[in-house]
Structure 1
Amino acid sequence: MPVYLDFISVFGAQTEPRDRRFSGFREQTTMADPPRGLVFSEIGRSGRQYQICYNLKTAALKSEHKVDMKLSEWSIQPAAFHHQFDIVNGRTLWIVTKGNRDLQERYKELTGKDGRLEDKSFGTVEECFRSSLAAHLMFCHWSTENWRWLILWLENVVEEETSMAILGPRGPGHAHRQYTTHDLQGLQRHDDKTNEVIADLEANVEIMALLCKFYTGLMSNNSISQRLKDAVELDINAFTAQVENMISDFKMQIARATLLVKITKDRKELVTMHLQSQASERMESLNLNMEQDAIVMRIVTIVTLIYLPATFVSTFFSTDVVKYQDQGGGPPNDGVFSNTALYRWLQVTLPLTTITLAAAVWALKRAQNQRWQQEYTKEQKKWPVGEEKDTGSIGLRSDTNSNNIV
Structure 2
Amino acid sequence: MPEIDPYDRLKEADRKSNEYPFSLLSKPDDGQITRRELKQYYVALNDPQQEKILFNGSHQQVVILDQWPGERGIFIESNDSRVPLNLSLAMLTYILTYHQIHPSFLDAVFAFGCRADDHGPGVSNFQPLLLNDGKTTTSISGRIPALGRSGKEIQHSLLLRSVERSHQGADATLRSWSMGKVAIHHFFDVETGRSVWIIVKDNDMFRQRFKTDTQLFPSTTHDSAGRPWSVAAAFEMSLERYLELLKWCDEDWRHYIVDLRKMVSDQISDAKTAQSKLRRHFGEPQAAVASGNHHTNGSTTARLRWNVKSELTSLEASSDLGSTHVDRFHELFERIDRDTLTMDLSVGTLNALVDYYDHLAQPGNVTGPLEGKIKEMVAKFSFRACQTIRNMESEQKQLEFELNRASEAKVQFVKRLDSHSTYRSQRLETYNYDSTREMQRIAINTEGKTKSVHFITVITLISLPATFFAVSAFTSSHAHLFGFSGIVYWDDSESNGGLKIRKGPRNLFVLLCYVVTMVIMVAWLVASWRRRIVARFRAARGRAQNRPYSPIEMV
- Is TM-score (shorter-chain normalized) higher than 0.5? yes
Distance 2:169 2:361 in 1: 50
- Residues 149-188 of structure 1 mapped to structure 2, 5 A cutoff: 149-166=255-272, 168-169=275-276, 170-172=278-280, 178=319, 179-188=321-330
The counterpart of 2:128, out of the listed 14, 17, 27, is 27
Q: Does 1:12 align with 2:110?
A: no
- Residues 5-404 of structure 1 mapped to structure 2, 5 A cutoff: 5-17=106-118, 20-28=121-129, 29=131, 32=136, 38-63=142-167, 69=173, 72-111=175-214, 118=224, 123-166=229-272, 168-169=275-276, 170-172=278-280, 178=319, 179-222=321-364, 224=366, 228-229=370-371, 231=373, 233-294=375-436, 296-297=438-439, 300=442, 315=457, 318-319=460-461, 320=464, 323=467, 346-360=517-531
- Which 5+ residue runs of structure 1 have no aligned equivalent? 330-338, 376-406
Deviation at 1:11, TM superposition (A): 1.6
Deviation at 1:20, TM superposition (A): 4.6
Cα gap change, 1:99/1:302 in structure 2, threshold over 3 Å: closer, same or farther? closer
Letter in 2 for 1:244: C
Cα gap change, 1:250/1:81 in structure 2, threshold over 3 Å: closer, same or farther? same
Deviation at 1:354, TM superposition (A): 2.7
Distance 1:209 1:177 in 2: 49
Deviates more, 1:172-181 or 1:130-139: 172-181
Cα gap change, 1:5/1:297 in structure 2, threshold over 3 Å: closer, same or farther? closer
Deviates more, 1:33-42 or 1:209-218: 33-42
SS of residue matched to 2:158: strand
Deviation at 1:27, TM superposition (A): 2.0
Deviation at 1:367, TM superposition (A): 7.4
Distance 2:211 2:230 in 1: 20
Cα gap change, 1:251/1:277 in structure 2, threshold over 3 Å: closer, same or farther? same
Deviates more, 1:320-329 or 1:211-220: 320-329
Letter in 1 for 2:339: V
SS of residue matched to 1:13: coil
Letter in 2 for 1:257: L
Distance 2:440 2:534 in 1: 26
Whichever of the two has the greater Rg, that structure is 2
Contact 2:119–2:179 under 8 Å retained in 1: no
Contact 1:62–1:75 under 8 Å retained in 2: yes
Deviation at 1:353, TM superposition (A): 1.9
Cα gap change, 1:173/1:119 in structure 2, threshold over 3 Å: closer, same or farther? farther
Distance 2:398 2:335 in 1: 14
Distance 1:121 1:104 in 2: 26
Distance 2:116 2:241 in 1: 32
After superposition, the C-alpha distances for 1:66-104 in whole angstroms (9 at most, x for unaligned) are 78946x153221111111112222111111111111111
Aligned partner of 2:12 in structure 1 is: none
Contact 1:151–1:194 under 8 Å retained in 2: no
Deviation at 1:139, TM superposition (A): 1.0
Distance 1:13 1:368 in 2: 62
Deviation at 1:224, TM superposition (A): 3.7
Deviation at 1:50, TM superposition (A): 1.5
SS of residue matched to 1:89: coil
- Which 5+ residue runs of structure 2 have no aligned equivalent? 1-101, 283-313, 476-508, 546-555
Q: Percent identity over the alignment?
A: 17
Letter in 2 for 1:99: D
Aligned partner of 1:385 in structure 2 is: none
What is the count of residue pairs matched by the alignment?
364
Cα gap change, 1:122/1:55 in structure 2, threshold over 3 Å: closer, same or farther? farther
Distance 1:127 1:274 in 2: 65
Distance 1:321 1:364 in 2: 38
Cα gap change, 1:15/1:202 in structure 2, threshold over 3 Å: closer, same or farther? closer
Deviation at 1:173, TM superposition (A): 6.3
Deviation at 1:270, TM superposition (A): 3.9
Distance 1:281 1:109 in 2: 65
SS of residue matched to 1:26: strand
The two structures, once aligned, show a CA RMSD in angstroms of 4.4
Cα gap change, 1:298/1:55 in structure 2, threshold over 3 Å: closer, same or farther? closer
Cα gap change, 1:313/1:121 in structure 2, threshold over 3 Å: closer, same or farther? farther
Letter in 2 for 1:83: H
Cα gap change, 1:4/1:165 in structure 2, threshold over 3 Å: closer, same or farther? same
Contact 2:137–2:153 under 8 Å retained in 1: no
TM-score by length of 2: 0.55
Deviation at 1:138, TM superposition (A): 0.7
Contact 1:38–1:47 under 8 Å retained in 2: yes
Letter in 2 for 1:56: L
SS of residue matched to 2:251: coil
Distance 2:351 2:377 in 1: 17
Distance 2:169 2:536 in 1: 64
Letter in 2 for 1:41: P
